[in-house]
Each structure stands twice: as C-alpha cells, then as structure tokens.
Structure 1
Amino acid sequence: MRKVETLTKSDGSTTYRVRFRHGISAKTGKPLQTSESFDRKADADTFAKWLDALGPQGALDRLYAGEQEKGIPTLDQVAADHIRLLTGIEEGTRLGYERLWARSWGHLIGTTRADQLTADIVRQAVNDLAAGKGLTGEAYSTKSLENQRGLLSGVVARCIELGHLTRNPVKGVRLPEGRRVAVDSIDDEDDAEMVCLTHEEWEALYATFSPHYLPFLRFLVGTGCRWGEAVVLRRGDVDLGARTIKIRRALKWSGDGARVIGPPKTKKGRRTIALPAEVVKDLRPLLDGKAGRDLVFTAPRGGMIAHRTFWSKNWRPALWRAQHCAAHIPKDCRCGTGEPHRCKVHSDPPGACGCRGTLAQSPRIHDLRHTHASWLLAAGTPIHVVQARLGHESIQTTVDTYSHLLPDAQLLAAEAASLAFAGRAGGGSWLPRVESLPDDALRHLAHAVSDETARRSPAIAGRVAVDGAA
C-alpha cells in the first residue's frame, strides 16, 4: 500500500498526505508527481488502497464522485434549458414542448442524471409510453411517439454537447406500433394517424352536415388549409376575380395558454392558394356585404368558429350519421346529434354499421387537409406543388408525410413507359398492360386520355377522315 505521510501544520493541527504519479509532463514527457491531503488518517489509508487497486484515475474518480454528481443535472433540468434556449419558435410552441416533456419523458425518466441515460432506459421508457404509463395514462399514437422521440433527441444532443454523454442512446431505438386515437376521444392534428378519404367517402360525409357549414367544409378539403388558417380568413384575403386566397395569419396558442391570432405555422405558411371553381361559387354569397377585416367563415350566430364546439356539435354527429344507414338509426336515437349522452336507445354510440354507401373510416377535421393532398398526388400533381399549397417549410415534410401515397403514381408512370416501348417496337399489344392497371390508376389514365383527345380533336378528326378515304 502507498505510504501515508503525517504532516503537522503551524497551528498544531495534523494532516495526512498520499503521494502518487498521475499524468505526463508536457516538457519532459515523464510522469507528474502529485498528492492528495486528508484531515483523517482513515480517509488517507482508504485512498491509498484505491490507488493500489484502481490506479490514479480510478482512485481520483472515486474520491470526487460525490462532487461530480452534485454538478451533473437531471434530464428534467437539461430539458428545461433546451426548450428555453430554442430559437425561431413562438411562445405557444415552447409551451407545447414543455407540456409534452412533462407528460411523457419527464414523468418517466426526468429525474435520471444526464450522464446515466442508456439505450435500455430509453427503450423501457418508449415501451411504457406506448403502454399508457405516461403522466396522462393514455396510450399514444405512433405519430405522437415520434414527436416525443424528437424532443428527447434534442435533449440528448444537449447532454452530449455539455459533455455528460459520449454517445446518443436514442439512436437506433425503434418505436412500437402506437394506437389509433379514437375520433371521440381527441381531435388534435399533432396526435393524429392520417386518414385520406376517397371522393365517395367525402361525399357521404359532406351530405350529413348542416347547410351552414358546407362551404367551410368544402373550403378545407378544396384548399388543404389548416383549421387555424381557415377560421381567421378575412374578406380582404380573398380575390374571387383571380380565384385565389392569401394565407397571412393563423389561430394558435400563446405562451400563457390562450388562443391568439398570429403568423402561420411556418415562413412558407404565408402563401397564395388557387381556388377550385366549386369553392369560388361557395364563397360568393358569403362575401356579400362584408368589409375587408370581416371573417369569411363564422358560427351560425356570428363570431369565430370555435373548434371544440364545432367538433362536438357538428363534426362528430355528422361523422356518426355518415357511418350509419337509415336502417341502423332507430327512430328515437340521438347518437347522431350534439347530445349523444341523452340517447335512450344506446348507452354508448354504436360503431359504423358497415352497410353499402356508408363511411367506414373515422377521420378527424385535420384529415381533410390530408385528403386534399392525397387527391392532388393521385391526380399526378408534382409533390413540390403540393408542398407549396400546404405551406410546408421543407419538401422533406411533404415527402415524409405523403410518400406512401405515391406508389400508384409510380406504377402509372412505369406502365406509361411500358406502353411507349410497345409502341416504339411496333409490335405487341398495349391492352393487356392497361388491363393490369389498378382501378384508380386506370381512372386517372382514362381522364388523361380524354383530355388529350379533346385537345387534339381537330387533328384527330382530320387524320381519321384521311385514313377513311384511303
């Protein structure tokens, strides 16, 4: 064991010193002589034993472990600083991040020291969130889990930046399959699993709404605007002559939890959107007599449309009616009204009946935006045009959100190339290739051929006449 030296100070007190070599001299390249002093001989003897067993660095780490722990923050503390120091976001967004951390990671691993976070701890926390063990007790959807992992990744990056971690324990952790959030439990665009309606499904839903809200609904699905952008649209933002609207503002949360009107979600959210003819027709009577700052869409009694009221009194009842045929809606049933709890026929509103012509899916209001994008992509609209129309800041957001809707378009393109090869070769039949197309792709191809035939009709007619004369 290392020798423990006893030293007497000028005031008569005694200290105990242990000498050892640690580090290398930059000048000579030889080990440096250093020492540690103690007030108690027992502490000096213990440190001497650590030197023999653990070496200089191990002994020092153990000696100062308590002091090191005092200086290392918890994940809650790192997260608070990370969120506070984020730039380029609004206070409402910052408040949302704080709440997201508190109800997810903060509840499960917030007290963990920043230097002790491991991949296993992260995996267990992810599984706990998926199983509904977060602060709210709800089982999160896949998209919500992705949002939570993104926030944790930012906090971990700060831990690495501060030197508390040397590697990212979040990297490579796979997310479990989240649950589909029920339409009657929440209607939050950030926690939604995407539902894209077909034209037939849209018509089934549209037909169940009260006349007052029909223009508003067709505006949402016809423009892809967010709810918060549509409800604050003003008369001055609409140019019916040019068939365009300008998105300049949106309804959002403030830092104190209140609803305020501010700029759109992203810089590219400030945009001009061309309107379909059907939406222009709907807007004309709504704009009559309104001043430039008046809202385009209002509640039946005037004023801004409230999301919660619209959802509970209009969207959810209309959705239930669209999911049930007349034969499955008893005479006295009130499940398809704004007061389903008063229904004396059913204790709980029954699920979709599944009959022909009814709606099988359960979309949320925000799914009208997804439906709009899906219709554009199915019609062959370039994805960068979809990005501009939706106001996504990055095209990567558009690709990540809607890439699964592109395979049919890719198949159509491949078949078009195949038809070109067959035509150039001068042999073979293109009919079997057309017959192999999916119904949606065949429908789009038929529309395209019809439009092109109409455009070329004089030339085609002349060619047919010449061929017939020959």
Structure 2
Amino acid sequence: MPTPTMHRAKDGTETWKVRYRTGGRGSKATSRTFASERAATTFARLLADVGADRAEQIADARAGAREGTPTVAQWCAKHIELLTGVGETCLRTYRGHVRNDLGELGPLPVDAVHPDDVARWVNAMAKEKVRGGKPISGKTIANRHSFLSAAMKRAVRSGLISSSPCDGTRLPRTEREPMVFLTHEEYLRFLGCFAPRWQPMVTTLFSTGLRWGEITALRVGDVDLQRRDPITGEPAPVATIERAWRRDGTVGPPKSRRSRRTVALAPEVVEVLTPLIEKRPAYDYVFRAAGGEEVKHRTFSKDVWAPAVRLANGEPAQPEKGRVTVPRRADGEPITPLSPALGKRPRIHDARHSNASWLLGAGVPINYVQAHLGHESITTTVDRYGHVMPAAQQAIRGAISGALTAAHPQIEG
C-alpha cells in the first residue's frame, strides 16, 4: 500500500500526498493531495484494494463528502451489532459474509458504492464454484445480497447515503436439484433397505415431514401418544415441535414462528414409536445413535441413508471405494439389493417432499399442508408443491379441454 507523505506550507497548513502509478511498473507516476492524513490513508487503501482506476473514480465521486465514512465491511459489521431478535447462528452466518463474501465491495466507502458495483459483485459470485465444482446456488447469492441490502437500507436511514445501491439488482437464478417423490409402494420398498433399528426413524421422517433438525431434536416429552380429541374423544396422538438443531451444534427454537407446531401422528407411527418412548425420561431424545448420542446428519447420511439408497437401486450397500456397515435384517442376514431397482435416489429431505405429495394427492387442503410442514408462508407451499396437486391439474385439463372442444373438429389433418 502506498504511504502518504505530509507536506507543510509556509503558512503552516498541512497536506497529505499519495504517490502511485496508474499502470504497472514503468508507467507514469502521479499523485493526489488530501487535506488530512485520514483521507490520504483511505485513498491509499483503495489503491491497494481496487486498483488505480477504480480508486480514482471513487475519490472523484466522494469529492466534498465528509471524512470518516465507514467502508462497506465496517458498516456491515456495525449493522450486525445493531440487529435485534436474531439468533447466534444467524449472526455467525452474517459475520461470515463480512469476512468472506463482500469481495471488492468490502473496502469501498459506503457512500461510494454504485449499483454497477453491486451488479459486478453479483456477477462475480455467479462464477464462483463450490465443493465438487458446482456453481454457487442462486439461493446463496440471494442470501448474501439480502444481507448487504439490509445493511445499506440502514445506511439510508442513518443518513450516510440517499438511496440503496442494492435496489433493482437482478439476481441470477440457478437450477435446483429436482425433488424426488416416492409413492407409497416405493416408500415401503425403500424402508426395507434399512436395518430394523433405523426403520422407526425413517418411518417418522416420511410420515410427519419433519425437517432433519426437528426430528433429531424431538424429545420423548414432545410425543403424546395417549392424546384424545377433546370433542370426539377419538385417539389423536401428536408430536409437538418446540426445538431444532442448529448449524452451530446447539438446540434452539425451530426455523420460524410457524415451525412451532403440532404434528398429527398416524396409527402406524404410533405403533413404531410406542416401544421407543415407553419408560424413558421426558428430556431424552426419541432417536439416538448406537452409542446413545444424538444422531448426526453426516454420519446418518453416509452410514445409514446412502447404503439404503444404493440397495434400493440394485447396488451393493458398500461403495467401491470406502467402507460402510452393511445393513442387516432382524435375523442377522445382510439386506440384499432390490430387484427390480427403485430407479430413484432420494435425499433425506425428500422424505419431507414425499410427505407433502401424499397429503396433497389425498386432497388435504393446501393451507393444512402448510401448517403441517411449518411453512411460514403459504406461498412457499404453493411454489414447491403446487405441481403435485391432482385436483388443480385436473381442473386445468378440464378447462383447456372445454376451450378446445369446439374448435378441435375444425382442425384439418
């Protein structure tokens, strides 16, 4: 970074000069003079961070602006400090954005950021690669942009800038991995690929649509298998979702306000849960790993779910490279690959998708499905699962058919 030098005029006035080159070594040297060391140091940092051309543009744009304006990184950090009602996991994610994701925006003064800078930042993220060489997801880009936008709106309210440079940014959209829906018959075949000790948990995943963090945080006291409907007196067993595992390895409130909910349990689920919760303390987790500890996603995915997916698709449980425990039946014999193969490779979260498709396929109103899944907005439910609503599809087919029937005979082959 260039070092500012101080010059004192005959009248005692001090100025600070920064010398730099607009190109590489051997290019013509130039300089800029500032009224304070602080302003000169800010410009010197910009030279080091964004290059001469961009630093000059920013300096010109900020001519006459007040000194001491924070950089984007500094302002975002202050924004995080002032947030209320936000959990530590979310705050940790935001701090990670400040450290790792602001790119060339980070060192820019807040009042020097132009919408074009935000657009270049978004385009640069769209070219990023994650583990495995896949492009970064559109959702990740949207999350980072949303964080920066919130910080910039605070800057507007604080009088640092007149408008947010994030407004109007068009965000890229990337393809999502398609959801995998299992039919009832496919689910039963898939369930048979798990060792008996894991089948109750898999059954509960598919039958309740719980998120991974919710089912692994479910305690014995959250499950009421003896509950009866207060009006009819009929059995009405439920599980109350009060907590979920977070990314930082702690247990806290679930994902959103509507994620706190009561989930109905089918008689088949009651049957598999009864021996798991009988005579166990209320604070104990319903599902535990072999060693008694909580079930970890990474371990379950690698050692339990992935072998079952391979078996369901007619493959050996153990991959060519690596070692896993081959699941066994109750009699101790290894579970053999399915034939014919399932032809689908569901992920753990696809149990939740399958549950939604079963409910909608059975004609359960979509607002009931929203409450069952704990979606904050019904828009989320419609966007994700609207295409699996047979009644809606049938209505569309009928309407189109009615519109075409009169004209159809007129079409000449």
TM tier relative to shorter chain:
0.5 to 0.7
The residue aligned with 1:218 is 203
C-alpha change, 1:336 and 1:137, in structure 2 (3 Å) is closer
The residue aligned with 2:244 is 250
CA distance, structure 1, for counterparts of residue 90 and residue 374 of structure 2: 18
Q: Does 1:173 align with 2:158?
A: no
Q: By how many angstroms is 1:131 displaced?
A: 1.7
Aligned to 1:68, what secondary structure does the other structure show? coil
Q: By how many angstroms is 1:403 displaced?
A: 4.1
Q: Does 1:365 align with 2:348?
A: yes
CA distance, structure 1, for counterparts of residue 298 and residue 67 of structure 2: 47
1:237-258 deviations in Å (ceiling 9; x for gaps) = 21213321111222224xxx4x
Question: What RMSD, in angstroms, separates the aligned Cα atoms of the two structures?
Answer: 3.7
The residue aligned with 2:123 is 127
Q: Do the aligned partners of 2:103 and 2:121 also contact (CA within 8 Å) in 1?
A: no
- Partner residue of 1:239 out of 200, 204, 224: 224
The residue aligned with 2:299 is 309
How do 1:446-461 residues align onto structure 2 when only pairs under 5 Å count? none
Aligned to 1:123, what secondary structure does the other structure show? helix
Structure 1 alignment gaps of length 5 or more: 1-11, 16-37, 39-61, 181-192, 341-354, 422-427, 429-470
The residue aligned with 2:362 is 379
Q: Does 1:227 align with 2:227?
A: no
C-alpha change, 1:13 and 1:280, in structure 2 (3 Å) is closer
Q: By how many angstroms is 1:161 displaced?
A: 2.4
The residue aligned with 2:90 is 93
1:182-241 deviations in Å (ceiling 9; x for gaps) = xxxxxxxxxxx4623121553454332222111111111211112122112222221213
Q: Do the aligned partners of 2:137 and 2:174 also contact (CA within 8 Å) in 1?
A: yes
Q: Do the aligned partners of 1:313 and 1:337 also contact (CA within 8 Å) in 2?
A: no
Q: Does 1:148 align with 2:133?
A: no
Which letter does structure 2 place at the counterpart of 1:378? G
Aligned residues with identical type, % of pairs? 38
C-alpha change, 1:135 and 1:161, in structure 2 (3 Å) is farther
Q: Do the aligned partners of 2:220 and 2:281 also contact (CA within 8 Å) in 1?
A: yes
- Partner residue of 1:282 out of 263, 268, 272: 272
Q: Do the aligned partners of 2:225 and 2:270 also contact (CA within 8 Å) in 1?
A: yes
Q: By how many angstroms is 1:401 displaced?
A: 4.0
Aligned to 1:393, what secondary structure does the other structure show? coil
1:17-47 deviations in Å (ceiling 9; x for gaps) = xxxxxxxxxxxxxxxxxxxxx9xxxxxxxxx
Q: Does 1:297 align with 2:287?
A: yes
Which letter does structure 1 place at the counterpart of 2:180? C
Which letter does structure 2 place at the counterpart of 1:130? A
Q: Do the aligned partners of 1:224 and 1:368 also contact (CA within 8 Å) in 2?
A: yes
State the TM-score, normalizing by the size of structure 1.
Answer: 0.60
State the TM-score, normalizing by the size of structure 2.
Answer: 0.68
The residue aligned with 2:394 is 412
Q: Does 1:393 align with 2:376?
A: yes
Q: Do the aligned partners of 1:317 and 1:337 also contact (CA within 8 Å) in 2?
A: no
CA distance, structure 2, for counterparts of residue 415 and residue 131 of structure 1: 41
Q: Which has more helix, going by share of residues?
A: 1
The residue aligned with 2:157 is 161
The residue aligned with 2:20 is none
C-alpha change, 1:384 and 1:64, in structure 2 (3 Å) is closer
The residue aligned with 1:33 is none
Aligned to 1:339, what secondary structure does the other structure show? coil
Q: Do the aligned partners of 1:201 and 1:359 also contact (CA within 8 Å) in 2?
A: no
The residue aligned with 1:197 is 181
Aligned to 1:70, what secondary structure does the other structure show? coil
CA distance, structure 2, for counterparts of residue 202 and residue 173 of structure 1: 43
Which letter does structure 2 place at the counterpart of 1:366? H
Structure 2 alignment gaps of length 5 or more: 1-9, 14-34, 36-58, 227-235, 325-338, 406-413
Q: By how many angstroms is 1:139 displaced?
A: 2.5
CA distance, structure 2, for counterparts of residue 139 and residue 414 of structure 1: 36
